[in-house]
A and B are shown apart, each in its own frame.
Chain A
Amino acid sequence: MVLIVLTLLIVQGAQAPVTIARGSASGIEVAREVVVRTPAEWDALWGEHGDQRPRPAVDLSSQMVAAVFIGTRPTAGYTVEITGARVEPDGLVIDYEERQPPPGVIVPQMLSAPYHMVTLPHRDGAVRFVKKGQP
């Protein structure tokens, strides 16, 4: 019985994010971590993001969108990646990581605003974002 419960917890605990948009030129230029659960929120976020491409279709009855915008960076070469999601006792935890251009690498001298948007299974309740290297 104990083994079955543990197995269920493991299965439920790891949730694989599916990328729907990622890039370096968001119109959202101030760092933000967002979870979207309704069509209205999704419309608003995509509009603020400023991408001229059509908003990706997401079935928000069964999924939700998690997005990380890290704000303006001085050059190209910066990226952000949502690396995983897990269920903890206090709610859903979304892990992400910002990467900088490696030392010595040459990059375009253009301001960038990296972002990453993913879908996850819909889940109510608290969500906490954890940036790698930070508690």
Chain B
Amino acid sequence: MAARPLGPSAARRRGARRALVRLTAAAVLALASATGSGQGPASSRTADIGAQVPQTGQPSHLWPPRPAPAGTLAGRFQLEPLRTTTTAPQAAPNQILVQFLPGASAAERAVVRSAVGAVEPAAVLSQDSSLELLPTAQPVTEALAAVDGLPGVEFAEPNWIVRHQATSNDPYYTNGSLWGMYGDGTSPSNPFGSEAGERWAQGHTGSNSVYVAVIDEGIDVNHPDLAANIWTNPFDPVDGVDNDGNGRIDDTHGWDFFNNDRTVYDGSAGSPGTDAHGTHVAGTIGARGGNGVGVAGVNWNIRLISAKFLGPTGGFTSGAIQALSYVIDLKARHPALNIVATNNSWGGGGYSVSLHQAIIRAAKAGILFVAAAGNSASNNDSLPRYPSNYATNVSAGSESAASYDAVIAVAAITSSGALSSFSNYGQSSVDIGAPGSGILSTTPQNGYSSYNGTSMATPHVTGAVALYKAMQPGVGAEQVRSAILSAVAATSSLSGRTTTGGRLNLGNLSAGPLPSSFSKLAPSNGTVGLGTSVMLSWGTSSGATSYEYCLDQTADNDCAAAWISTGSATSTIVTVQAASAYSWQVRALNQNGSVNADGGVWWSLASAGAAMYSSILKAPQCSGPGGFCDSGFLLNGRDGIAGGPEPNQPNTISSSCPDGTNGQYHIDESIDRLRVETLDGGAFAPSKPVRITATVWVWGVANNRLDLWAAPDANSPAFALVGSVSPPGTGLRELSATYTLPAGESQAVRAVFRYFIGTPSPSVCTLGSYDDHDDLVFSVGYASFTDDPLIPGSHLVRAVHLQELRTRINALRASNGLSAASWTDPGLGVGTIIRAAHLAELREALHAVYVAIARVPPTYTDATLAPGFTLIKAAHITELRSAVVALE
């Protein structure tokens, strides 16, 4: 094994992070293995080329906070014992199922019912009325005994409570550590959890169209359990310019108001405590779930915006105002950013008119303000705590009141339902309780830690707001708040201590009757070669009040763009870009929520020039000849690396070259996109110059190299090197090289993006553990002709038509061992009268080629050309062209 070289300081820092990534991944995998997920050990690290350097070892000061071993979390900030129960079969109380024998009489049935105290069945469950669900006041075991052996009874059994399958495969969820996400119907279970797991089991795992701002410390945006859910600002790309005019240059993931810079994460391997609180909070709201790694947040899919204002020594009201104002401005400036809430796990300072006004402005923008009640075990009714004691339905200075209260004040509870010993409370000032003791979540440098505090309870509620908004996108902020607070589970420890007297309970959120299921109609799934104007259509959903569609250029079955309403219309015309692939979905909405068409399955479509994955070739392929071929999102990422697994990886023809398996998405090397296009904009044809462009993520300039290869036959690829390109900088880069197309109907290009040490030497399939290899297959037609096609009546046969046939026929003759033909009027040009002799000699010269290669020569219109009588027509030229192309 070889580590990346430790050279300049920057490289050394990166190298250090490499060590952390690998080591912590190993720890997580080990945990997963211990909990039965069956993952193997972390793969080794290899460079593809050059000398192997010694393992550097693990610097002792760089070890990050690591996951506590399974079952030992109680040792770290675990004030109250963690209670998690394993699931054993449980029967519904006061019910039994009785199966009567065929022909059981009404009298026999009456005796059976009477034996358990039932007057009539609660339900008849079979077509022939032989299976009855009987209510009973007796314990289930006694009721079963009472009917056992009675005439007419075939059998009786408990009405087992059917529990949801655990949908999360995240090791800290499955091993019982994530009690705040559990419910009484999950496995593992905990009745005092938020019941997020029950919503997941129903398919509600959040949406990338819902945004939450974390006003706090920063967030480790590279944490593998968070990276995929971190917002990346599309309105202000990293170019040193404030593109969207919000006063913040390159606010890629948010803004750091503490340091007034764009870097929202300021920690390092040597300071794993930096931004730990913000990262922990973010993980509870939206750590990626179902990825087999670490923890799961309330939302598996969400967009998290970091508005950092807390530093190592805390922060000030001014910073909080700046952070909140930034979020409000983002939403106003970019309405597509569906920011539904801010999470505010902080407190201190007294009442501030300015902050109060900002919170009211947020309310007016439809942004809820979820706030920690505080950790001083005191009553907020008598000793107000801010910001949780603010209300937005009252005015503040010159800021008029909002129409509703947007603040949700959150107390903390333990895994046994008690109010956490430190938690503040308030019958009129604290709204709800949520899990806040022994909460495991993400911490920087790929860590996981268990923390306590109302800080930890708050993001459970913020996460619930986001999840509910994803479930019911049509409801407003006031309704969301009302729904969350109305759905609480009554909890004795919170009675008289919160306005609701209850704890967060996602399972109680009422969705009401939803629109009926429906299907998309056209264009059918997988349609390719579309023009740039496409009509989407779908069927009718009963109960729907409106429809929304999403046309997305990602393949993650989630809407990264925006849902766009069509009102009640069941079709719409959309504009797509050339050479682009899309996925699309439609949802029907009513006041209770939404239903996605086709059970949530997204359909794909592609305009001409966009590649679709070929299950035969095992690589993206463009159908039909064109002038460009683009992989779109089909190559994004690499192998199965965290945060960015490549769809259909490895995407090399016949899976001939696997990708490296080390690293993280958009930290380490990957090829994200591949495009081939002619330089002249015309169709692919032999002898034409084309450009290959690869969009790659560069880890290190000195150690990364892109090799581009081409093969004339994709079905039996013999790749030849087109060129090697050194990246000019790190991060996302477009690198390209040009070459001349050889002959061949179905051709391929391969990009190899590799990490090397020492002297790079290209290879069509490298073995480095950070290397990515991707192929793109495209069709090449024949070299075009002037006026192609020739249209009878529109095109006159001209000298140029004959001249290019002469050239290509002689090329064919040469490639088949024949001497060049000589031509009448060799200087054929404008003014030359096109005669039958010209055509005849072309036919003769080509005929010789057919004979030479034992092919049946073509037959022609006007087989016998009569000089002076036969008029040379477009058809004559067209058939000759076809005969030439058939041999090319």
Contact = CB atoms under 8 A, between A and B. Distances in A.
A77 B315 CA distance: 10
A107 B346 contact: yes
Interface string B407-436: 000000000000000100000000000000
A58 to B, nearest CB: 11
Interface stretch (A33-41, A47-55, A116-124): A47-55
Interface residues of A, number: 26
Interface string B71-95: 0000111010000000000000000
A109 B346 contact: yes
A57 B61 CA distance: 10
A135 interface: no
A104 B60 contact: no
A108 B452 contact: no
Given A74-B375, A75-B347, A76-B277, A107 B310 contact: yes
Contacts of A77: 313-314, 348
B374 interface: yes
A105 interface: yes
A29 interface: yes
Contact of B76 (A23, A27, A110): A27
A52 B63 contact: yes
B449 A109 contact: no
Contacts of B350: 104
B60 A109 contact: no
A108 B76 contact: no
A86 to B, nearest CB: 28
B313 A106 contact: no
Contacts of B60: 53-54, 56-57
B452 A110 contact: yes
Contact of A110 (B313, B315, B376, B455): B455
Contacts of A110: 277, 280, 345, 375, 451-453, 455-456
Contacts of A105: 313-316, 348-349
A111 interface: yes
A108 B217 contact: yes
B453 A107 contact: no
A104 B345 CA distance: 16
B372 interface: yes
B251 interface: no
A75 to B, nearest CB: 6
Query: Which of A23, A53, A104 has the most CB atoms of chain B within a 10 A radius of its CB?
Result: A53
Interface in B340-379: 345-350, 372-377
A76 B372 CA distance: 14
Interface string A7-38: 00000000000000001110101000000000
Interface string B191-229: 000000000000000000000000011000000000000
B455 A109 contact: yes
A61 B452 CA distance: 39
A109 B375 contact: yes
A13 B419 CA distance: 50
Interface in B287-327: 309-310, 313-317, 319-320
Given A104-B350, A110-B345, A74 B314 contact: no
A29 B77 contact: yes
A83 to B, nearest CB: 18
Chain A binding surface, main DSSP class: loop
A106 B349 contact: yes
B345 A106 contact: no
B626 interface: no
Contacts of A24: 273
B75 A106 contact: no
B453 A108 contact: yes
Nearest to B453: A110
Nearest to A79: B313
Query: Which of A57, A105, A109 has the most CB atoms of chain B within a 10 A radius of its CB?
Result: A109
Query: Which of B63, B68, B316, B453 has the most CB atoms of chain A within a 10 A radius of its CB?
Result: B453
A57 B59 CA distance: 11
Nearest to B270: A53
A108 B345 contact: yes
Contacts of A111: 77, 79, 375, 422, 451-453
A94 B64 CA distance: 30
Contact of A76 (B68, B314, B456): B314
A91 interface: no
Contacts of A107: 310, 314-315, 346-348
Contacts of A53: 60-65, 272
Contacts of B113: none
B58 to A, nearest CB: 8
A106 B320 contact: yes
Contacts of B452: 110-111
A109 B76 contact: no
B348 A52 contact: no
A92 interface: no
A108 B345 CA distance: 6
Contacts of A23: 273
A72 B375 CA distance: 12
Contact of B75 (A27, A54, A74, A108): A27
B374 A109 contact: yes
A113 interface: yes
Interface in B272-292: 272-273, 276-277, 280
Nearest to A104: B349
Given A106-B347, A107-B346, A50 B75 contact: yes
A23 B276 CA distance: 12
Interface in A92-114: 101, 104-111, 113
Contacts of B314: 76-77, 101, 105-108
Nearest to B310: A108
A77 B273 CA distance: 12
Contact of A106 (B66, B315, B373, B449): B315
B454 interface: yes
23 contacts: A25-B273, A25-B276, A25-B451, A52-B66, A52-B68, A52-B447, A54-B58, A72-B79, A75-B348, A101-B348, A104-B350, A106-B315, A107-B314, A108-B217, A108-B310, A108-B455, A109-B346, A109-B347, A109-B373, A109-B454, A110-B277, A110-B451, A111-B422
Given A57-B60, A108-B314, 4 more contacts: A27-B77, A74-B422, A106-B346, A108-B453
Interface of B: 58, 60-66, 68, 75-77, 79, 216-217, 272-273, 276-277, 280, 309-310, 313-317, 319-320, 345-350, 372-377, 422, 447, 449, 451-456, 458
Which 7 A-B residue pairings sit nearest by Cβ, starting from the closest? A52-B66, A110-B453, A53-B63, A109-B372, A74-B375, A109-B455, A108-B277
